[in-house]
Structures are given as C-alpha cells and as structure tokens.
Chains A and B, each alone.
Chain A
Amino acid sequence: MKHACLRDHARALAVAWAALLALMLASLGSAYLRLGAGNAAVGLAIAVIKSAIVVWLFMRLRTSSATVRIVAATALATLLLLIGLASVDYATRPVEPAAYELPRQTPSLAGARPVQGAR
C-alpha cells in the first residue's frame, strides 16, 4: 500500500472510531431516559449498529470474498434461528426454581401469570 493510500485508510478508520464513540455515548444517554421497553430496544439497536461498523469496516467484510461473506451470514442466521427456537421453548414453560436457588431469587411465576399447559 502506498503512503498516501495508507493515510486515506487511516483517516477512514479514525472516522469509524469517532462514530463508534459517539454511538457509545448515545447508548449511555438513552439509559437515563424513561423509555420503558424502549430502553432495551435502543440499547440493542445501537449495539447492532456499532457491531455492523466493526464487522463491515474493521473486519473488512465490505471487501471480503464471497466465501467469507457466506460464513458470516450463515453464522448470524444460525444464531438467530437457535435464539428463536430456544425462545419458543422457554416462552411456553412454567418457571421452576433450580434446587440451588434461593426461593426469593426465582419465585415461581406460575401463579402470577397464566402459563399455557401448566396444571
């Protein structure tokens, strides 16, 4: 890489770094607002944007080969698929505290919330 080219590259990295820090501060600020479920949504959305900047620019997925992109896409799709399937499983079960847990730490929610299939 020629010197001028390296300088341009370094400038692009610096811009991405500044954007990441700005997003971090936006994420921090959003936690102090009363957004209800929106707090988690905003926090996660900003984290996804930051991750995308790191993966796309720093990890160079932007200029990677098709094989590398397929690996990255498959990894993300498998993660989302497994999270989805696991969520379906847990969302339809009553909560039973494990033997080692203090009763006050994980009280059974079966009484507080109707759980389908629970008797």
Chain B
Amino acid sequence: MTAATAAAFVPADVAHDGRAAKLGMWIFLATELLFFGGLLVAYAYARTHWPEGFAIASRRTDVVLGTVNTGVLLTSSAVIAFAVACAEDPAQRRWTARALALTAVLGVVFLAVKGVEYAHEWREHLFPLAGFALADVAGAGLFFLLYFVMTGLHALHLLIGIAGVCVFAGATRIAKPWATAPRVEAMALYWHFVDVVWILLYPLLYLVERHA
C-alpha cells in the first residue's frame, strides 16, 4: 500500500474518528435493541396467555446444548474484551489478532452447536409445520415459532459478527493502518450486543420451567 492510499484510510484526527466510530455503533445498537424488542413483546404476550403451553414446549428444547452455547458466547465476549484491551497497546498487536481469531472460532462453535440442536428438533417434529409434535398443546406452536425466529435472527447477527471479527483479526495481524483500536472496540461492541441478546433468550427459551 502506498503512503497516499494509506492516508486515505486514516483520518487526520484519529481520536475524533475513534469517538465517532464508537458513538455510531452505539446508535446502531439502539435501533437493534428496538428490533429485538418487538420479538420480546410478542413473546411476553404469548407466554402470559398460554403459560402451560410455553412450559411444556420449553421442556422440549435441549437445555444441555443451550447452556453449553451460553457458556461459549459468554467466553467469546470476555475474549474479545481482552482483544480490545490488547489493541490499545501497539506492542500487543499479535495478541489482539489471536484473541479476535479465538472470538470468531467460538462464534463458529456456537453456530455448529445451534445447527445440531436444529437438526435434533427437526427429527422430533418440533418445527411448527404440518405434523407438529405438540399440535394438541395450546400455545406450543407459538413458542416454537418464536424460538426459531428469535434464535434464527440471533444466529444471523452472529454470522455477520463472525465475518466482521475475522476481517479485523486479519487486518490486525498484517497491521493494516485502518484497523485502529477504537474501530476494533466498535466491532467488539456489536459482538457484546449479540451476546446480550442471547443472555436474554437463554432463560426465555430454555428455562421456562424445568421441574415436573
């Protein structure tokens, strides 16, 4: 890369650019919160109207894989927070790249486990389609509709996050001038938000009632 093209990617006022990147990401995440908020309202409505159906349907989700996945995502958040801390010291560039790569790997592990769960649920006829296993339980169809929409949208967000984190991992590794610490932090903000969404989904989908 020539000096001229490098300069085009690095604004003159780096500190100002860093603040703008983080503020921009926070504003984007505010809109994302309201996007998932609509689904939370739909869930609250359905669960308060058919509490028994939700309890029966929730017991059919795989709580072991759900808990493992929650642990994987919480760990990935801690790892990318470590990457952000490393990114602030140019001497720790390699550790930044490694932590970002590990974050992406944990994201892929999450999606793989989620895929195993979906396959399991498909075999048990838990997709709310013709031949739905809980067709006689009022509200169970709504639970699994919300389950697949919420986890599906979460998985899509995670996939985008994995792609973004991979780009930053590669760029940091080869010391691209545009991969500045504040931009790595803005990327991490998105990753943490996707983690927060899962933190909320975990008790709502897997833990309605496990006794009885």
Contact = CB atoms under 8 A, between A and B. Distances in A.
Given A13-B81, A17-B78, A90 B89 contact: no
Q: How many B residues touch the partner, as a band?
A: 35 or more
B203 A79 contact: no
B207 interface: yes
A17 B75 contact: yes
B139 interface: yes
A71 B84 CA distance: 21
Q: How many A residues touch the partner, as a band?
A: 35 or more
Interface in B182-212: 185, 188-189, 192-193, 195-196, 199-200, 202-204, 206-212
Interface string A66-110: 011001101110110011001100100001000001101111010
Given A51-B196, A59-B192, A105-B139, A2 B89 contact: yes
Interface string B154-196: 0000000000000000000000000000000100110011011
Interface in A31-60: 31-34, 39-40, 43-44, 46-47, 50-51, 54-55, 57-60
B40 A1 contact: no
Interface string B63-76: 10001001100110
Contact of B30 (A40, A71, A82): A71
Given A43-B207, A68-B23, A104-B136, 18 more contacts: A2-B89, A32-B211, A34-B211, A43-B204, A47-B199, A54-B196, A55-B196, A59-B193, A65-B19, A72-B30, A75-B34, A82-B37, A83-B37, A83-B41, A87-B44, A87-B45, A105-B138, A106-B50
23 contacts: A1-B92, A17-B77, A24-B70, A24-B71, A31-B208, A33-B211, A34-B211, A39-B207, A46-B203, A47-B199, A47-B200, A47-B204, A54-B199, A58-B192, A72-B30, A74-B30, A83-B44, A86-B41, A101-B141, A102-B141, A105-B140, A106-B50, A106-B138
